[in-house]
């Protein structure tokens, strides 16, 4: 059976690579449609025409699109994504500095979202047919109507300004510093043996992660609950009941696993949306991740960064989808190929 799993993973990766390639072409072409001139925006206002032209040639922007793309592609193969126009540093390094922060944030947010979503779904299923169900339903619709960035602002206003319970800016309090080992702050704190800094980092992560989680969890709740409802009607659940199993055994050993599979697939899709949510949430919380960097790059029309970060996002989505596919494969025997 294990051989089969690796085969499927390899198959998925092979199929996904052309997609990433096409995605990069898409981004490249769209960005070249630019009405504004990126070069003109990054030189001082009194530069001469010749200086502007020189810079344009240096950046290779005078070549036709497909040549520019080819150059960019080959440069990636040799390990560079170009230099940022704004910071005049390699894009790779800039991404390497900011990516761990975002990944950390997304992972914590995903954990929150999973716990809230699954627990909420089970609770809503229990409430079925009773008084609280309609109220829970409307409440979840209400929560779903609030996008992540508004949750982010709301949490700042409530927990940050009004109640002053939690910090809402940056990754650590000013004055607290931790030696940089992996870039993942929580890990670095543990490695350096600084529990106080660990708690501080967690505090800073709490609000943004919660905001991200609230954007995803209600949908997970609903899907789990409706899956549970559907599964409850299935023949095998009736048979389990007729074999004398009690309701708890039926829920845990028969219903849940079957209902979890469609929820898992949805979780994969939602977590790629979670990545997109980091854009604004990082801006609002001043969190130094790639989302923040992307928004700044967009404001400054810094093409190399935009292209590089877009690729990173595409990769991230690919990895998440792959992970979910593998998990579903492991859990759903119907998809496994039997020799």
Contact positions with another protein (CB under 8 A) in 158-217: 161-162
- Window of 14-22, 58-66, 79-87, 203-211 that interacts with another protein by CB under 8 A: 14-22
How does 202-228 read in b/e, with b if 16+ C-beta sit within 10 Å? eebbbbbbbbbbbbbbbbbbbbbbbbb
Rounded CA separation 282/169 (Å): 9
Near another protein in 112-141, by CB under 8 A? 141
Q: Which of 33, 77, 88, 163 binds another protein (CB under 8 A)?
A: 33
Nearer to another protein, 209 or 314 (CB): 314
Nearer to another protein, 108 or 281 (CB): 281
Helices then strands, each counted (H, E), the chain: 14, 0
What mask, x for binding another protein by CB under 8 A, covers residues 275 to 314?
Answer: xxx-xx--xx---------xx--xx-x----x---x--xx
Smallest separation, CB 94 to another protein (Å): 17
Smallest separation, CB 257 to another protein (Å): 5
Q: Which of 4, 5, 9, 31 binds another protein (CB under 8 A)?
A: 31
Rounded CA separation 279/208 (Å): 11
Near another protein in 244-263, by CB under 8 A? 244-246, 253-254, 257-258, 261
Smallest separation, CB 181 to another protein (Å): 29
Residue labelled with tokens 């800094």: 197
Under rule CB under 8 A, residue 23 binds another protein: yes
Nearer to another protein, 14 or 193 (CB): 14
Nearest to 263 by CA among 234, 230, 233, 293: 230
First to last CA, the chain: 8
Rounded CA separation 273/269 (Å): 7
- Window of 86-94, 179-187, 197-205, 229-237 that interacts with another protein by CB under 8 A: 229-237
Near another protein in 35-94, by CB under 8 A? 35-36
Nearest to 308 by CA among 36, 24, 100: 24
Smallest separation, CB 142 to another protein (Å): 6
Contacts of 165 (CB under 8 A, 6+ apart): 159
Smallest separation, CB 52 to another protein (Å): 20
Whether 98 contacts 289, CB under 8 Å: yes
Q: Which of 10, 13, 17, 26 binds another protein (CB under 8 A)?
A: 26
Q: What is the secondary structure of 215-272 as a DSSP string?
A: HHHHHHHHHHHHHHHHHHTSHHHHHHHHTT--HHHHIIIIIHHHHHHHHHHHHHHHHH
Smallest separation, CB 273 to another protein (Å): 6
Nearer to another protein, 80 or 258 (CB): 258
């Amino acid at each position: 059976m294990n051989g089969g799993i690796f085969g499927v993973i390899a198959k998925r990766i092979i199929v996904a690579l052309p997609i990433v390639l096409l995605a990069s072409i898409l981004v490249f072409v769209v960005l070249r449609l630019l009405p504004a001139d990126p070069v003109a925006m990054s030189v001082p206002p009194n530069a001469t025409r010749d200086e502007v032209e020189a810079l344009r040639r240096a950046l290779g922007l005078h070549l036709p699109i497909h040549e520019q793309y080819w150059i960019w592609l080959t440069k990636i193969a040799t390990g560079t994504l170009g230099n940022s126009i704004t910071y005049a540093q390699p894009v790779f390094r800039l991404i390497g500095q900011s990516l761990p922060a975002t990944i950390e944030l997304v992972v914590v947010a995903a954990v929150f979202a999973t716990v809230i979503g699954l627990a909420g779904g089970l609770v809503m299923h229990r409430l079925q047919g009773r008084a609280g169900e309609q109220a829970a339903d409307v409440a979840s619709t209400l929560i779903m109507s609030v996008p992540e960035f508004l949750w982010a602002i709301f949490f700042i206003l409530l927990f940050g300004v009004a109640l002053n319970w939690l910090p809402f800016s940056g990754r650590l309090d000013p004055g607290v510093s931790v030696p940089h080992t992996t870039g993942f702050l929580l890990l670095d704190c543990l490695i350096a043996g600084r529990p106080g800094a660990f708690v501080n980092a967690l505090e800073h992560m709490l609000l943004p992660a919660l905001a991200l989680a609230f954007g995803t969890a209600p949908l997970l709740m609903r899907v789990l609950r409706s899956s549970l409802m559907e599964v409850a009607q299935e023949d095998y659940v009736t048979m389990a009941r007729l074999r004398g199993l009690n309701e708890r055994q039926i829920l845990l050993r028969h219903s849940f696993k079957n209902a979890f599979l469609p929820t898992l697939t949805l979780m994969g899709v939602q977590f790629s949306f979670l990545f997109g949510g980091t854009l604004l949430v990082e801006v609002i919380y001043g969190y130094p991740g790639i989302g923040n960097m992307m928004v700044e790059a967009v404001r400054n029309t810094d093409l190399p960064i935009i292209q590089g970060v877009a690729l990173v996002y595409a990769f991230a989505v690919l990895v998440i989808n792959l992970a979910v596919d593998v998990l579903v494969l492991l859990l759903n025997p119907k998809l496994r190929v039997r020799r």
